[in-house]
Structure 1
Amino acid sequence: MKKSIKKGIVAIDLFAGAGGLSRGLQDAGIKILAGIDFDESAKKSYEYNNKAPFITKDIKLLKSDEILELLKGYEDYYFLLCGCAPCQAFSTRNSKQKEVDERRSLLLEFDRLIKETNPDFVFMENVPGIKKREPHVYETFVQTLKDKKYKHDADVVNTKHFEVPQERKRFVLFASKHNNITLPTHVLSNTEVLTVRDTIAHLPALKAGEEHSAIKNHKAINLIDLNIERLKQTPHDGGSRIDWKDEYLTAKCHKGKKGFGNSYGRLSWDKPAPTVTTRFYTYSSGRHGHPEQNRAMSFKEGALLQTFPADYVFFGTNGEKGKQIGNAVPPKMAYHFGRHFLKSVM
């Protein structure tokens, strides 16, 4: 296609949370008009760190007129509608969900807003299981794109190839009304990926239950004595519960079982981290132990592994901050995708 005479791209971020997607796109040069999410607890984190308002609204109640109102004055810009619908309903980890889960309808609400607002571009990010776990929902979404004359590309990518120091696989879809847009495959090769050491080794040491006085969010939650002893018997730099010498340390649910091998494990310094989940700050729920200190990851460490900027500050309870960080689209990956959109038309 011919290069555009339009000024740039503006975006509205659905399911915005604390703003990982918004921040990455903003850093790429895309103007964010608003982040929209029903979770009021993310509002302060979003607005403190991003040059955009946070609109507290359930997407099921969001009217297309509200989006079109935000777009007034930006007629000489392309419009990108983007978001990551809450992914638990589509995750392969979520094997106990009911057959009909209300959260699945959120992707269909995204679909509705595409029909009603006719954006120039669409960016959707979710878990790899979205197509397999609920194919009719995904197929409805794609059929809308076809009916509205979008060209689209979709695939599973690993965030480690986009400067995110995590083994985090995500399903990504791009759609465009203006060109045959394709997904970028990587910006880093397997030999160039960033590691835990690259990302958090510079931070001051903490003890469990301690919070750094000067570095915002560098706080490690307290641990019971049993978990401290478990960490003491876990080798530094990638050790796990299979290394424990004393049998009493093994939880009853793990005795005689080889599964859940990451539980109570330590991060490895010279590898990308495992996926940063919403419970990354708790020691027992994954490979969340610091590589050598006897504690779980701090909130700052989780945020840096998600590639939030060093000055990005999160507000709320421990659980709220964990959700804001763990559920986010990694800003660095969003940055590279944002640059890809801009290069395709500008």
Structure 2
Amino acid sequence: MSVAGRRSSRPSKPTLTVVDLFAGCGGLSQGFRETGRFTPVGAVEHDLAAAATYAANFGEDHVYWGDIGEWVKGDLPDADVVVGGPPCQGFSNLGAKRDDDERNDLWERYVDALVKIKPKAFLIENVDRFLKTRQFRSLLAEVEHGGMLSDYRLDFGVLRATDFGAAQLRKRAIVIGTHKSRDKILLPAGKVPQHEWQTVKDVLGGINPKVPARRTELPEGRTHEVFGKTVRGKYTADELHITRRYESISLQRFRKIPEGGNRFNLPDHLKAPCWIKHTSGSGDVMGRLVWDKPSVTIRTEFFKPEKGRYLHPDEHRALTHHEAARLQGFPDTFEWCGSKIEIARQIGNAVPVDLARALAQHIAEGLSGS
């Protein structure tokens, strides 16, 4: 069943409240909402386009657009659960790993929020390397006696999104904190065996792959008012089904790469000079996806084939924004704000909705004692 049609049954009335920090466009919030057991009562996001997308889908009334450091100084909402993924660029496996990157310390604002809100449970998600950083070691110290989070117990590990229903081989570090007044919530075990993993075909099979050949831009002249500002949008899922204008050399390369193939399949006259000299290394550069397997991790530049395995299984182009959003688990009813690059960043930075939904259901069951 496609992502657009695959949704969990919902109780008649949500019973728990959730605050989403570093919310982005709302991947975590979407997963929590889809369980039918959570109502969002607070969200914080500093990027205007992402905050606008969140507000378009969850309401503007509970969203704070701005610096979380300022937000935590005010009166914060009561909530059963706090979730969020502090920015991870400083210790991502991509690019330079700077332990002194100021973005790494934004997790401290997350802790400040926990101290003030005092939720029953909290969830942190991040890149898998997070569990090896000094920031994580500092977090562990805070749950020790005398620490700011000494009222909580943690369970943590690395989960694979495909094991929870996503059609994407994406690994994330997950930390669940439970207040000591309740039974400790452990990380969930994956419920989808490998032979039942969702595939690219399961998710993209219902999308017309030929449409992007005729569309390269978002609709012109559309604006949306939010937080007293004007942003581009809102755009529907099918309006994100757009491609790029490729150079002739790129199209020649695409035609030589078979399903599951990559730059190694190219004849020498179509290889970049650096590819000829390097016959090993990443097999995902200029890689083509496979219909009957999950996708690779959808990152923020999925529209650039030179950045990874992002070529469509059949078509001579990279994934469209619509296809990438589907692979991230967003329903077709989700609306988007921003430019093409801003929306791509929102999609790539989001938590796969299927993983978020499974975590939300697990936490809800843990809090209810089931």
SS of the residue 1:281 aligns to: coil
- In structure 1, the residue matched to 2:225 is none
**Is 1:64–1:117's contact at 8 Å kept on the other side of the alignment?**
no
After superposition, residues 1-346 of structure 1 pair within 5 angstroms as 8-28=15-35, 29-51=37-59, 53-67=62-76, 70-71=77-78, 79-94=80-95, 96-132=96-132, 134=133, 136-146=134-144, 147=147, 148-177=150-179, 178-206=182-210, 207-208=212-213, 210=215, 215-235=238-258, 237-245=259-267, 247-257=268-278, 258-346=280-368
SS of the residue 2:125 aligns to: strand
Q: Report the more deviating stretch, 336-345 or 268-277.
A: 336-345
Q: Report the more deviating stretch, 57-66 or 29-38.
A: 57-66
Per the TM alignment, residue 61 of structure 1 is displaced from its structure 2 partner at its CA by: 2.2
**Is 1:196–1:272's contact at 8 Å kept on the other side of the alignment?**
yes
Q: Which amino acid aligns with 1:302?
A: A
Q: Which amino acid aligns with 1:220?
A: T
**Is 1:209–1:222's contact at 8 Å kept on the other side of the alignment?**
no
**Is 1:208–1:222's contact at 8 Å kept on the other side of the alignment?**
no
Provide closer, same or farther for how the CA distance between residues 138 and 209 of structure 1 changes in structure 2, counting only shifts above 3 A. farther
Q: Report the more deviating stretch, 106-115 or 182-191.
A: 106-115
SS of the residue 1:287 aligns to: coil
Per the TM alignment, residue 267 of structure 1 is displaced from its structure 2 partner at its CA by: 0.5
SS of the residue 2:123 aligns to: strand
Name the CA distance, whole Å, in 2 between partners of 1:316 and 1:225: 29
Provide closer, same or farther for how the CA distance between residues 209 and 252 of structure 1 changes in structure 2, counting only shifts above 3 A. farther
Name the CA distance, whole Å, in 1 between partners of 2:260 and 2:103: 35
Q: Please, which runs of 5 or more residues in structure 2 have no aligned partner? A: 1-13, 220-235
Name the CA distance, whole Å, in 2 between partners of 1:90 and 1:263: 22
Name the CA distance, whole Å, in 1 between partners of 2:256 and 2:188: 43
Q: Which amino acid aligns with 1:210?
A: R
SS of the residue 2:269 aligns to: helix
Per the TM alignment, residue 109 of structure 1 is displaced from its structure 2 partner at its CA by: 1.7
- Count of matched residue pairs: 327
SS of the residue 1:154 aligns to: strand
**Is 2:158–2:174's contact at 8 Å kept on the other side of the alignment?**
yes
Normalised by the length of structure 2, the TM-score is 0.84
**Is 1:90–1:129's contact at 8 Å kept on the other side of the alignment?**
yes
Provide closer, same or farther for how the CA distance between residues 196 and 15 of structure 1 changes in structure 2, counting only shifts above 3 A. same
> What RMSD over aligned residues (CA atoms) do the two structures have, in Å?
1.9
Per the TM alignment, residue 306 of structure 1 is displaced from its structure 2 partner at its CA by: 0.3
**Is 2:90–2:98's contact at 8 Å kept on the other side of the alignment?**
no
**Is 2:91–2:97's contact at 8 Å kept on the other side of the alignment?**
no
**Is 1:216–1:313's contact at 8 Å kept on the other side of the alignment?**
no
What do the CA deviations read for 1:201-242 (whole angstroms, capped 9, x no partner)? 21112345625999221111221111111101111x212111
Name the CA distance, whole Å, in 2 between partners of 1:181 and 1:263: 39
Name the CA distance, whole Å, in 2 between partners of 1:107 and 1:145: 14
**Is 1:218–1:301's contact at 8 Å kept on the other side of the alignment?**
yes
Q: Report the more deviating stretch, 220-229 or 299-308.
A: 220-229
SS of the residue 1:284 aligns to: helix
Per the TM alignment, residue 97 of structure 1 is displaced from its structure 2 partner at its CA by: 4.3
Q: Which amino acid aligns with 1:121?
A: A
**Is 2:169–2:297's contact at 8 Å kept on the other side of the alignment?**
yes
**Is 2:164–2:190's contact at 8 Å kept on the other side of the alignment?**
yes
Per the TM alignment, residue 91 of structure 1 is displaced from its structure 2 partner at its CA by: 1.4
Name the CA distance, whole Å, in 1 between partners of 2:44 and 2:269: 48
Q: Please, which runs of 5 or more residues in structure 1 have no aligned partner? A: 1-6, 72-77
Per the TM alignment, residue 254 of structure 1 is displaced from its structure 2 partner at its CA by: 2.0
**Is 1:161–1:188's contact at 8 Å kept on the other side of the alignment?**
yes
**Is 1:64–1:113's contact at 8 Å kept on the other side of the alignment?**
no
Q: Which amino acid aligns with 1:82?
A: V
SS of the residue 1:100 aligns to: coil
**Is 1:11–1:79's contact at 8 Å kept on the other side of the alignment?**
yes
What do the CA deviations read for 1:141-175 (whole angstroms, capped 9, x no partner)? 12223442212210001000111101100000111
What do the CA deviations read for 1:56-87 (whole angstroms, capped 9, x no partner)? 121222225332xx33xxxxxx6211101111
Per the TM alignment, residue 40 of structure 1 is displaced from its structure 2 partner at its CA by: 0.7
